[in-house]
Structure 1
Amino acid sequence: MRAEPGPTRWLARVEAKLEAALPPVTAEPAHLHAAMRHAVLGGGKRLRPMLVYAAGVATGADETTLDAPAAAVELLHAFSLVHDDLPAMDDDAMRRGRPTVHVAFGEATAILAGDALQALAFEVLADADAPPDMRLDWLATLASAAGAAGMCGGQAMDMAATGGELELDGLQRLHALKTGALIRASVRMGAIAGGADAGLLARLDDYAAAVGLAFQIRDDILDIEASSEQLGKTAGKDAAQDKVTYVGLLGLDGARRRLLREAEKARAALGPLGARAEVLRGLADFTVARTH
């Protein structure tokens, strides 16, 4: 029997790891467990786990070593989406084509589900079958990406900027934290598992930074061009909430040009890896071309 190609196999691996890590609805508190599973297992691109696997395999890691960081980064991403959708944040009723967690389970349960998913992400890393120094590096990388110097800090900046003015440099700093930090952490955790040296880690960080920016620019374009059905979430939210976006600052054509430039930067950063970076290059291309 022919083996499944890498990304297809990796997707199955991370789904199995997530299923095993999440608490069952047969155990109490069942309502909280159901909300956690609703947040994580309801589909999604799984881009961040794929980046973990692709960076890890490109640098020589075994796939089994990558299961824990791949699942952990997706659990943390799910936590961020649950809290991002809350009425006090972006106040969205739909995520991945389904009711958001606070709509389906109530606001208090959504807050607790997000908290529990964040804790579970670090538990998965702490319990991973990997050398202690590797687990410590993973934990430090993910914690830095999640906190005030990363995703949470970026969200705070985003909320402060809503309805105000922001220059392009400020918008890039905001999204380097809110969106980019977790993407960079995904690549870095995979590369740590592969034993990448400092020079290669720096090149991969350049790749991840460009992919993170491209991802956000594409999000801003899709918010204008795509429907809610295509996106699986409410379209047109940026304009409705008076958010500063790349389209707003650069125009639609300018945002498209910047998107392609970031994709080229990502591909160029992978030069030393040659053919081993094929999937990483493909993920950069997907970020540019995705329709949801």
Structure 2
Amino acid sequence: MHLAQTLAPYEGSLGDAMRYACHGGKRLRAFLVLEGARLHAVPTAPALDAAAAIEAIHAYSLVHDDLPSMDDDDLRRGLPTVHVKWDEATGILVGDALQSHAFALLAGMELSEARRLSLISGMAQAAGGDGMVLGQALDIAAETAEAPLTLDQIKRLQAKKTGALFEWSATAGAVMAGADPAPLASYAHALGLAFQIADDILDVEGDEAQTGKRVQKDVEAGKATFVSLMGLEAARSAAQSLVKEACDALRPYGADAENLRQAARFVISRQG
């Protein structure tokens, strides 16, 4: 994969740990970038750089999310987490390095300066203190809050923690082409929420061997989730409605967007 090639120059245990952190996974965010790029006839080189960049950001977020001071997980993608295989300091540094690597990839893309800057600023917002990082902060705060989160609060949290990077991924192709990103932004909003509901369902029903991470964590912690607040069947129904909403948003692209429709359906049928 292109991301692995871009990580090849990194040396020593840091480089090894960076490549380890980026191994495996569903590559859903990269897929969204590449499909959006295909819909807008974006050349292969910048599309691959954008796809690699979002996967580097996603991998960084997982490495930091797994740290003892955060979610304290010992299993990711069916393997020991980075801080378990190496140590906590390496986990922190790997996340830092992957984040900066992502922005370097975007800065070096074969695109006009204006479009590169748009992708970079969009990534900074989606991944930073008003996006993914804020979502993580809200999630941590919820663990010690006196009252469990409401459904609206969970939706806001997940729109930041998960949804912001989904939106960047889905709209990157339109941004690279200078096209209207609105239809793909609507698709991504529904897709991201469906993805998180499916994650909450997997935490209740999933098998650790298939998910590649610990299950029943939220249940054991008494954490408010879509499932705990809505019930299992209502959550499942909500996810299905969101997939329909995501698919409907793709009407402007006609049959050319069938791969994205299939991705939306996959999100709620996956076992891991």
Contact in 2 for aligned 1:59/1:195 (Cα 8 Å): no
Deviates more, 1:263-272 or 1:188-197: 188-197
In structure 2, how many angstroms separate the alpha carbons of the residues matched to 1:250 and 1:178? 20
Corresponding position: 1:22 with 2:4: no
Corresponding position: 1:95 with 2:71: no
* Map of 2:131 onto structure 1: 150
* Map of 1:35 onto structure 2: 17
Corresponding position: 1:187 with 2:170: yes
Corresponding position: 1:47 with 2:32: no
In structure 2, how many angstroms separate the alpha carbons of the residues matched to 1:99 and 1:60? 39
Q: Aligned to 1:45, what secondary structure does the other structure show? A: coil
How big is the shift at 1:59? 2.3
* Map of 1:267 onto structure 2: 247
In structure 1, how many angstroms separate the alpha carbons of the residues matched to 2:40 and 2:111? 16
- Of the three residues 200, 210, 225, the one matched with 2:190 is 210
Contact in 1 for aligned 2:115/2:178 (Cα 8 Å): no
Q: TM-score, normalised by structure 1?
A: 0.90
Q: Over residues 205-255 of structure 1, what are the superposed CA-to-partner deviations in whole Å (9 max), with x where a residue is unaligned?
A: 110000000000000001111111111001111112232110001000010
Superposed CA RMSD in Å reads 1.1
Contact in 1 for aligned 2:46/2:110 (Cα 8 Å): yes
How big is the shift at 1:111? 0.3
Q: Over residues 249-269 of structure 1, what are the superposed CA-to-partner deviations in whole Å (9 max), with x where a residue is unaligned?
A: 100001001000100110111
Contact in 2 for aligned 1:60/1:195 (Cα 8 Å): no
Q: Which amino acid aligns with 2:100?
A: A
Is there any run of 5+ residues in structure 1 with no aligned partner, and where?
Answer: 1-14
Contact in 2 for aligned 1:46/1:74 (Cα 8 Å): yes
Q: After TM superposition, which residue ranges in structure 1, 4 or more long, deviate above 4 angstroms?
A: none
Corresponding position: 1:78 with 2:59: yes
How big is the shift at 1:23? 4.1
Aligned length: 270
Is there any run of 5+ residues in structure 2 with no aligned partner, and where?
Answer: none
In structure 1, how many angstroms separate the alpha carbons of the residues matched to 2:14 and 2:223? 32
Contact in 2 for aligned 1:141/1:189 (Cα 8 Å): no
Q: Which amino acid aligns with 1:115?
A: D
* Map of 1:8 onto structure 2: none
Corresponding position: 1:246 with 2:231: no
Q: Which amino acid aligns with 1:21?
A: T
Identity percentage of aligned residues: 48
- Of the three residues 276, 280, 287, the one matched with 2:260 is 280
Contact in 2 for aligned 1:263/1:284 (Cα 8 Å): yes
How big is the shift at 1:32? 1.0
Mapping of residues 130-145 of structure 1, within 5 Å:
130-145=111-126
